Structure 1
Amino acid sequence: MTPPANAPTFLAQHGWEGAEIQPLAGDASFRRYFRVLSEGRRAVLMDAPPPHEDPRPFVAVAEWLAQAGLSAPRILARDLERGLLLLDDLGDSRLRETLDIAPEREIELYEIAVDLLVHLHRQPPMSGLRPHGLDQWLDEVSLFPDWYCPAVGLDVDGAGFRDAWTAVLRPVANDGRAPVTVLRDFHAENIMLVDGRAGVEHFGLLDFQDAVAGHAAYDLASVLEDARRDVTPSVERAMLKRYKEAAGEGERFEAAYWALAAQRNTRILGVFTRLWKRDNKPHYTNFQPRMWGLLERNLAHPALGPVRDWFDRHLSAEHRAAAWAQAA
């Protein structure tokens, strides 16, 4: 977490000469974040180094979210060729840690999260976003047989896996709903509680550069079936009901919710295994027990029958836990 060599020059060019640069966070990508302090001011420096990263999608989505009445970091300065952005600092109060300290606020804060999605989904989707439909869902979920299964010593029926998921996801793709803006990483570590703001603006949004145009159930599943914290099942059911009532949705939407939750959780099992095996980030396997717990719950839904049958044929209870156990 050493700041990029050109950071001091970039900061000086934009009125932050001599600022202190402190490590703030890294993530699963090549992006890194630093807190910048100078004369009582503070901001966040994003380092998105080319050619691995491109900050332009982040800028475009941040500006669109602001226009849509939501809270995203303002872009204070930019050097797109070098992958540097200076952003508003939304503080340190993430939803995850807030609920760790005050679990009694779970319903209150998840109600705001659901209302935020209702508001977001009422906006015409941002133009120029990549589609996120059946082809993309199938490609994403293939990370499981490509990475997870080999990591636990299994050679599985990949064609049957894809056929099972096609049977489950094609009805979701063909349910006739218009696409909405999908943030894709809408979860408790990317939601900030920002002082002095209310309503949907109570939450500041992060890590939305991979936004796509897709199904309204996806981000709802992302926040209620969170890889990083346990959401009480009764709260999940209540928030699903809250969204359905606010958006005028019914049972078809609920079936889509469970199907896309299962798709996302299966993809994440593959992604976290890839981060372990390919990128030497074994700490991501710490999330695997939670992910399996969520996926097992998803597979119990009647709409997941073909996928449940595939898992029952190919993965024993031992193999469903082996990846994270081996890395511990």
Structure 2
Amino acid sequence: MSDMKDTRRQQLSEWTHTELLRLGIPHDNFESLEVVSGDASFRRYFRASLDQITLIAVDAPPENEDSESFVAVANLFREAGVLTPKTIASDFDKGFMLIEDFGDRLYLPALLKEQQKDQQSNSIENSDLLYGQAISSLLKFQKNIDCGRLDPYSRKKLHEEMALFENWFCEEFLQLQLTDADREMIANTFCFLEESAVSQTQLAVHRDYHSRNLLILEREDSAEEAGPGIIDFQDAVCGPYTYDLVSLLRDCYICWPSKRLEKWCDDYYREASDKGLINDISRAQFSRDFDLMGLQRQLKVMGIFARLHIRDHKPQYLADIPLVIQYFLEVASHYDEMAVFKSWFEQTVMPVAETKLN
């Protein structure tokens, strides 16, 4: 596997050189590709340092990743007025792309730094400013993207995502032996959460809208009010209006006090109502929609993080599961429909999870 990756990296470097020549982009200083990051997919990202600019070279193996969809969705978001990287060159058959470089200033480090400060900062890294920009960008693409151009976030897909919790987290990771009664109770809970999701107003959904996929931009052509750079957008769908908001505010990688979260929820609700996105939805119904959507996502994430550890050999994601569980149990406690599942989770899942995750 390592040899194959090294071969693809060399091929990507050669392809990048050829494309730079074809495009007439000065690159006398270009020598090799510098590793930037990978993500939870099979894609890998490298920085190409050129004479005057930097670009990101993307290795997206075609047997695993759909680069054509990546470019199409990026264009769809950019047409909606939000900032996604422009594609400079692409070869879909090879699974290679050259895209605009948004830099390395992810939201997450800035927000963690903000949490550690004793006093509020007036800088660009102020959390209220960053979340305000993220919410504004969310509202912008929710309003401007025609949902008909995206695949639907179907009930089947919602169920498949939650099944990752049952299959990968409970059975593969925790090695639980689920009874028929357990499976029936789990299925009933999934059905309840699916019903809530599909009954919500359906808008454009990024599907992974959080602090590791939003960047603070430092470009002259992007004023602060323009919003964050948005990445990892290629799985966008037409789905529940609260999905991206709960992904952003109940982030798997950073947790905020409930008062701050409520303030940001209020901001979204007010602006979404003003823009006519959520007509006739009360504040109480919005809170319920937000909470139940979060429960669906948290079950999915527990399964995905376990799968990343077991199948993809990425154990670092295990460290983020306790916060996801914390969110889940805290919110589930407010809903009678979740009482049986929550009790089972605390009695059956938690003792094993605490041992495996500590």
Normalised by the length of structure 2, the TM-score is 0.84
Aligned: 1:247 with 2:269: no
- Rg larger for: 2
With over 3 angstroms needed to count, the CA separation of the structure-2 counterparts of 1:314 and 1:39, relative to structure 1, is closer
Q: 1:182 aligns with which of 183, 201, 205?
A: 205
Contact 1:221 1:261 in 2 (8 A): yes
Q: 2:155 aligns with which of 122, 134, 156?
A: 134
In structure 2, runs of 5+ residues without a counterpart are 21-26, 121-125, 274-280
Aligned: 1:286 with 2:311: no
Q: 1:13 aligns with which of 13, 18, 28?
A: 18
Q: Which amino acid aligns with 1:307?
A: M
User: Relative to total residues, which structure has the larger helix share, 1 or 2?
Assistant: 2
With over 3 angstroms needed to count, the CA separation of the structure-2 counterparts of 1:260 and 1:36, relative to structure 1, is same
Provide the C-alpha distance between the structure 2 equivalents of 1:224 and 1:231, rounded to a whole number of angstroms.
Answer: 8
Contact 1:183 1:208 in 2 (8 A): yes
Matching of residues 175-214 of structure 1 within 5 Å: 175=200, 177=201, 179-195=202-218, 196=220, 197-198=222-223, 201-214=226-239
Aligned: 1:258 with 2:270: no
With over 3 angstroms needed to count, the CA separation of the structure-2 counterparts of 1:271 and 1:308, relative to structure 1, is farther
Aligned position for 2:276: none
Percent sequence identity over aligned pairs: 25
Q: How many residues in Structure 1 have an aligned counterpart in Structure 2? A: 323
Aligned position for 1:34: 46
Aligned: 1:234 with 2:268: no
With over 3 angstroms needed to count, the CA separation of the structure-2 counterparts of 1:124 and 1:8, relative to structure 1, is closer
Matching of residues 209-228 of structure 1 within 5 Å: 209-228=234-253
Q: 2:106 aligns with which of 78, 94, 99?
A: 94
Q: 2:334 aligns with which of 289, 301, 306?
A: 301
Aligned position for 1:310: 341
Provide the C-alpha distance between the structure 1 equivalents of 2:353 and 2:10, rounded to a whole number of angstroms.
Answer: 38
Q: CA deviation at 1:134?
A: 2.7
Aligned position for 1:276: 309
Aligned: 1:123 with 2:141: no
Aligned position for 2:58: 46
- Secondary structure at the counterpart of residue 245 of structure 1: helix
- Secondary structure at the counterpart of residue 35 of structure 1: strand
Contact 1:292 1:321 in 2 (8 A): no
- Secondary structure at the counterpart of residue 140 of structure 2: helix
Provide the C-alpha distance between the structure 1 equivalents of 2:225 and 2:192, rounded to a whole number of angstroms.
Answer: 36
Q: CA deviation at 1:69?
A: 0.7
With over 3 angstroms needed to count, the CA separation of the structure-2 counterparts of 1:122 and 1:293, relative to structure 1, is same
Q: CA deviation at 1:203?
A: 0.4
Q: Which amino acid aligns with 2:137?
A: L
- Secondary structure at the counterpart of residue 252 of structure 2: coil
Q: Please list every run of at least 4 consecutive aligned residues from structure 1 whose deviation after the TM superposition is greater than 6 angstroms.
A: none
Normalised by the length of structure 1, the TM-score is 0.91
CA deviations over 1:60-112 (Å, ceiling 9, x no partner): 11111111111010101111111111011111111111122334412221111
In structure 1, runs of 5+ residues without a counterpart are none
Aligned position for 1:154: 176
- Secondary structure at the counterpart of residue 4 of structure 1: helix
Aligned position for 1:163: 188
